Amino acid sequence: MPTSIDWAAVRAAASFRLAIPRTPMGGRVGARLGANTGSSLEFQDYRPYTPGDDLRHVDWAAYARSEMLAVRLYREEVAPRVDLVVDISRSMVVTEQKLRAYGELLGVLACACASTVADARIITTSAVPPQPLHVPEDIERFLACDAALSALEEVHLPFRRRSLRVVVSDFLFPHDADVLVSRFARDSAMLSIVQLTLREEAEPEAEGGRKLVDVEGRGELDLVIDEAAIRDYRARFSRLRLGLSSAARRTGARFAHVVAGAPARDVARALAAAGVLEPA
Amino acid sequence: MMFATPLGLLALLAIPAIVAIHLFRRRFPVRSVAGLFLWHIARQTPEGGGKIARLPITTSLVLECLAALALALILAGARLSSAGVSPHLVVLLDDSASMAAVNARGESARDRAVRRVLEEVDRLGNRARVTLVESGERPSVLVGPAALAADVRPGLDAWQPEALHHSLALGLRLARELAGPTGRLMVMSDVTPGPPGEPGVLWASVGEPLANVGITAAERTITPAEGRGAVALTLGNHSDSPARRRVSVSAGDKLVVTRELDVPPGVSSVAFPLPAGLPPVRVALAGDALARDNEVILAEPRPRVVAVENRLPDGRGRQALLKALGALAGVTSAESGHLVFGEAGELDRPSPPGVWRVGFGRAPSAWLAQGEAQDLIGPFVLEKRHPMLVGMTLGGVVWPGAIPLAAGSVHPLVSAGDQVLVGMPAASGGTQTEPTILVNLDLDRTNLIRSPDWPILISNLIEMRRQSLAGPERWNYRVGEWIRVRLARDPKSPLRLRCGAVERALPAGRELEFIAPSPGGLLQILEGPGDDAVLFELGVNFLDESETNLRGLSTADVGGFGDVAGLRAESGPESDPLFWLLLAIGGTAILVNWCVFTPRRR
């Protein structure tokens, strides 16, 4: 399904970057201030002098005032590692609208990665090595979405230690949310889960008899979609979303649910509200 | 296209059923979804019950209909055109000996019948199935049933008609059963059927009127007292003029008698004296149209002489018995005989083995009842089935001295009211092993001895005893007659008979009974496996005046074949390429429909 991201709209909303966790994180020394003490010029705190400290960091003015040796501490500067997990299964492009929304969402996240000055990589499946994300436009290469299965169902994905992990999918496949989220969060600096669904996937309406065909080949079903069926469906969908949300909360991850069709600016704000992004 | 089991076409009803299923099946608009599993909790919607809409001609529908059509045709036994259907010809061959009579050219009706049958088989082609039935008193299948055309000629070559005159009705019934509704029926005979013929049957007569002289009866006798024997022949000349024939009598390789005879038209007799003691002789008439009736084998009879002991007291009765015995042949007087005539009072004593006793007068006291002797004039009730009383009437007989007998002591054969006059004592305690006959009669006062019933009674008694003596009942038989032989002792080894090419085992026992086998000749009864232990040699001959008369034979075709469908080959459906084609089509349709159009579910 051919696609083209409206980069103008995306960039207009790209005043965000990936949120950095307070906890220690992996990565080389870089331009982003980390949560730990380091060697940047930004003052962070004092602490009592101990033998062996660099005398250049002793605050002599403070010694003059208090006759106590204290050492100035500065914040570290890091270049965070970002692993962006992109679901390329056919369910992500089940409709044109979902494909377009998926493109814009990934564009927003790619721009955020660029703003983060991070070492970002795209993970689609364990069978293919992660691809570096140099510029936001690189994300367009991953919108073909023709896989029969979501990479998220694979047991092992090539995550890096202490990386910032952003997982984007509709999560519309049978799963155990706790197991899934725990697997993503293991040994990560921070995990962000972004669920993208169509409005009719989240809140379907009665439309009579339909032959439902799973785009990933998981079967067919002749069904009269009436109020009772919708009630059942919504309950199950809510349990699925709440399961993901709860599992994310338990592991300290961020969770955002994005409904396809919203403008890119609103999407970015929703992600920021969920703690996935932060103003640049 | 033909169908072996047309009822199988009912399976075609599956096609409208499939169409109906497709027609009424719910067909919802297709909607692609990402998470079908979220809908599975909703109740399933039945696939049927939808509104009638235009039938979608889908590939699945076409494949399902194709498979149903192919399987229905397989069930119905569809065959390509007439493949597998063979014409079935059933021929009843008249096995009477007259079929072997040859004309001046040396050709017999049998030869013409063989030729006609082969022509008919050739006309039907190699696919034809043929059944040959041989007529006779016991019709049999000569070739088949439904044999291949190639098997007909060997069967016909082996066919040699030699049976006695018989009706073709039994053979025709068997042939009709074998032909069934699919076979063509043909009769090959030398006579034409009486009007109106046989419906649905081609009756081909291939006979030819011929002059013939044959032996229609033969007897060999012996007069032991004079030490000489004789052969008496009855000859039939079935022509319009006298025929000169040479008759020869030979015993083994030795020619005993030969004579030129002028046999007049019709039936005539001739006799030849023979010395006594000759082994079985062969009497041969010079050759003519039918060889079967030109030769007989005659064994010398060895009469079974009954030894009679007359213990009757002097008087009218004794004299009457002597007079009656004197008129019978094969009877001799002896001190210890096979048959003892005496007074009835001795009948309660045990008799020696092999001795029958006939007692006249007052029965033993143990058999008597209260009462005085009576003189009776009838009416007399006779057990007419008993061989002793055959031919007796007791008309005008006065029966004096009939003493009342105890009930159950004697089994009555002749009685007057409740008075037993002649009877056989009931066996008591198993001691009575030989037959005993009580004649409750005062011989000196009765007029029975002057009546015609007296010699009949004595003759019947003698013959009864003779029949129970060891040896054959007769020494010369016609083919098909029952032969009865009583042995003097139990056989020590298995018994068998040999008559020409016929040889078979006989049931063990002292009394042998079997049918004189065809084609006849010298019949030997042997004991044990070797050829030395010959117990008896008997003559079995073809003596049939009806077959000897060849003047009524004719040539004609009567009737015709019925309109029949032909015999379906017994080979299975795999012999027809259409079966495999239908199987391939049906199987492929099912497989493709299953593999391609069945929804995959994980």
Look up residue B286 and give its two tokens: 């010079």
Report the DSSP beta bridge partners of residue B297: B282
Q: Which of A224, A234, A238, A259 is most worth mutating to test chain B (most B CB atoms within 10 A of its CB)?
A: A224
Q: Which of B297, B302, B303 is nearest to B540 (CA)?
A: B297
SS3 (DSSP) at B444: coil
Q: Which of A231, A199, A244 is nearest to B41 (CA)?
A: A231
What is the 3-state composition of chain A as percent helix, strand, coil, each rounded to the nearest 5? 35, 30, 35
Please give the C-alpha separations between residue B592 and each of A213, A218, B55, B67, in angstroms, as whole numbers.
21, 21, 21, 10
Look up residue B551 and give its two tokens: 């003047």
Q: Which of B368, B389, B337, B381 is nearest to B440 (CA)?
A: B368
Give exposure, B207-230, as e/b (b: 16+ Cβ within 10 Å): bbbbebbbbbbbebebeeeeeebe
Rounded Cα gap, residues B293 and B544, in angstroms: 8
pLDDT at residue B562 is higher than 70: no
Amino acid, single-letter form, for residue B140 = S
Residues of B in contact with A237 (CB under 8 A): 35, 38
pLDDT at residue B358 is higher than 80: yes
Give exposure, B481-507, as e/b (b: 16+ Cβ within 10 Å): eebebbbeeebeeebebbbeeeeeebe
pLDDT at residue B600 is higher than 70: no
Relative orientation angle of helices B59-75 and B577-597, to the nearest 10 degrees: 150
Asked if A29 has any chain B CB less than 8 Å from its own CB, the reply is: no
Q: Which of A96, A153, A222 is most worth mutating to test chain B (most B CB atoms within 10 A of its CB)?
A: A222
| Residue A106 and residue A10 in contact, taking contact as beta carbons nearer than 8 Å | no
Minimum mean pLDDT range among B109-113, B305-309, B461-465, B485-489: B485-489
Amino acid, single-letter form, for residue B299 = A
Q: Which of A96, A170, A218, A259 is most worth mutating to test chain B (most B CB atoms within 10 A of its CB)?
A: A218
CA dihedral B289, B292, B295, B299 (to 10 degrees): -170
Chain B residues with CB-CB distance to A under 8 A? Answer: 26-45, 47, 599-602
Rounded Cα gap, residues B202 and B175, in angstroms: 12
Residues of A in contact with B43 (CB under 8 A): 228-229
The more confident residue out of B144 and A228 is A228
Residues of B in contact with A217 (CB under 8 A): 600
Distance of CA B352 to the CA centre of its chain: 42
Distance in Å, alpha carbon of B46 to nearest chain A alpha carbon: 8
Rounded Cα gap, residues B146 and B133, in angstroms: 11
pLDDT in tens, B443-479: 888 999 899 999 999 999 999 998 888 888 888 998 8
Asked if A200 has any chain B CB less than 8 Å from its own CB, the reply is: no
The predicted pLDDT at position B565 comes to 57
B536 CB contacts (<8 Å, ≥6 apart)? B471, B472, B485, B524, B525
Nearest CA in chain B to A207: B29
Residues of B in contact with A216 (CB under 8 A): 34
Q: Which of A262, A260, A92, A254 is nearest to A172 (CA)?
A: A92
Q: Do A219 and B600 touch (CB under 8 A)?
A: yes
Sites in chain A below the pLDDT cut of 50: 1-2
Strands B30-33, B534-541: parallel, antiparallel or unpaired by DSSP?
unpaired
Strands A70-86, A164-169: parallel, antiparallel or unpaired by DSSP?
parallel
Q: Which of B579, B583, B589, B585 is nearest to B18 (CA)?
A: B589
| Residue A273 and residue A280 in contact, taking contact as beta carbons nearer than 8 Å | no
Q: Which of A214, A215, A227, A237 is most worth mutating to test chain B (most B CB atoms within 10 A of its CB)?
A: A214
The predicted pLDDT at position A2 comes to 46
Q: What is the mean pLDDT of residues B508-519?
A: 86
Residues of A in contact with B33 (CB under 8 A): 94, 201, 212-215
Nearest CA in chain A to B601: A219
Q: Do A219 and B33 touch (CB under 8 A)?
A: no
The predicted pLDDT at position B44 comes to 57
Confidence of residue B579 (pLDDT cuts 50, 70, 90): confident
Residue entry with tokens 């932060």: A278
CA atoms within 13 Å, Cβ hemisphere of A60: 3
Radius of gyration from C-alpha coordinates of chain B? 40
Look up residue A123 and give its two tokens: 């993970």
Task: Enter the ipTM.
Answer: 0.79
CA atoms within 13 Å, Cβ hemisphere of B383: 13
Residue entry with tokens 């309950």: A235
pLDDT at residue B374 is higher than 70: yes
Rounded Cα gap, residues A200 and A261, in angstroms: 11
Q: Do A213 and B27 touch (CB under 8 A)?
A: no
* Interface contacts (A, B; CB < 8 Å): 93
DSSP state of B168: S
Q: What is the mean pLDDT of residues B582-599?
A: 84
Residues of A in contact with B48 (CB under 8 A): none
Residues of B in contact with A215 (CB under 8 A): 32-34
Q: Do B37 and A221 touch (CB under 8 A)?
A: no
Nearest CA in chain A to B42: A229
Residues of B in contact with A219 (CB under 8 A): 36, 599-602
Confidence of residue B567 (pLDDT cuts 50, 70, 90): low
Query: How many other CB atoms sit within 10 Å of the CB of residue B477?
Result: 21
The predicted pLDDT at position B289 comes to 81
Q: What is the mean pLDDT of residues B24-36?
A: 81
Q: Do B35 and A228 touch (CB under 8 A)?
A: no
Q: What is the mean pLDDT of residues B384-405?
A: 90
Residues of A in contact with B34 (CB under 8 A): 91-92, 94, 170, 172, 201, 214-216
Rounded Cα gap, residues B116 and B152, in angstroms: 12
The predicted pLDDT at position A176 comes to 92
Q: Do B26 and A222 touch (CB under 8 A)?
A: yes
Minimum mean pLDDT range among B242-246, B332-336, B523-527: B332-336
Helix (H) or strand (E) holding B257: strand B254-263
Share of chain B above pLDDT 90, in %: 12
Q: What is the mean pLDDT of residues B124-143?
A: 86
The predicted pLDDT at position B602 comes to 39
Question: What does B200-254 look like in DSSP terms, one character per residue?
Answer: TEEEEEE-----EEEEEEEEEEEETTTTEEEEEEEEEEESSS-EEEEEEEEETTE
The predicted pLDDT at position B554 comes to 82
The predicted pLDDT at position B147 comes to 83
Q: Do A201 and B28 touch (CB under 8 A)?
A: no
Rounded Cα gap, residues B375 and B412, in angstroms: 18
pLDDT at residue B584 is higher than 60: yes
Q: What is the mean pLDDT of residues B25-39?
A: 82
Q: What is the mean pLDDT of residues B340-344?
A: 90
Which A residues in the span 89-128 are in contact with B, Cβ-Cβ below 8 Å? 91-92, 94-95
Share of chain B above pLDDT 70, in %: 91
Rounded Cα gap, residues B465 and B304, in angstroms: 10
Query: How many other CB atoms sit within 10 Å of the CB of residue B426?
Result: 11
| Residue B268 and residue B289 in contact, taking contact as beta carbons nearer than 8 Å | no
Distance in Å, alpha carbon of B68 to nearest chain A alpha carbon: 26
Q: State chain B's mean pLDDT as an integer.
A: 84
Cis preceding linkage at B519, omega within 30: yes
Q: Do A213 and B30 touch (CB under 8 A)?
A: yes
Q: Do B36 and A236 touch (CB under 8 A)?
A: no
Phi/psi zone of residue B484: left (φ > 0), alpha (ψ -120 to 50 degrees), beta? beta
Q: Which of B348, B351, B345, B338 is nearest to B313 (CA)?
A: B345
What is the 3-state composition of chain B as percent helix, strand, coil, each rounded to the nearest 5? 25, 35, 40
Backbone angles phi and psi of A85, in degrees to 5: -90, 120
Rounded Cα gap, residues B480 and A264, in angstroms: 119
| Residue B172 and residue B187 in contact, taking contact as beta carbons nearer than 8 Å | yes
Rounded Cα gap, residues B149 and B126, in angstroms: 6
pLDDT in tens, B185-235: 888 888 887 766 667 788 888 888 888 889 989 998 888 777 788 889 898
Q: Do B28 and A218 touch (CB under 8 A)?
A: no
pLDDT at residue B65 is higher than 50: yes
Helix (H) or strand (E) holding B512: strand B511-515
pLDDT in tens, A135-168: 888 888 888 888 888 888 888 888 888 888 999 9
Relative orientation angle of helices A96-116 and A264-273, to the nearest 10 degrees: 60
B555 CB contacts (<8 Å, ≥6 apart)? B205, B206, B207, B208
Q: Do B37 and A218 touch (CB under 8 A)?
A: yes
Q: What is the mean pLDDT of residues B290-299?
A: 88
Q: Which of B402, B324, B408 is nearest to B366 (CA)?
A: B408
- CB-nearest to B28 from A92, A211, A236 is A211
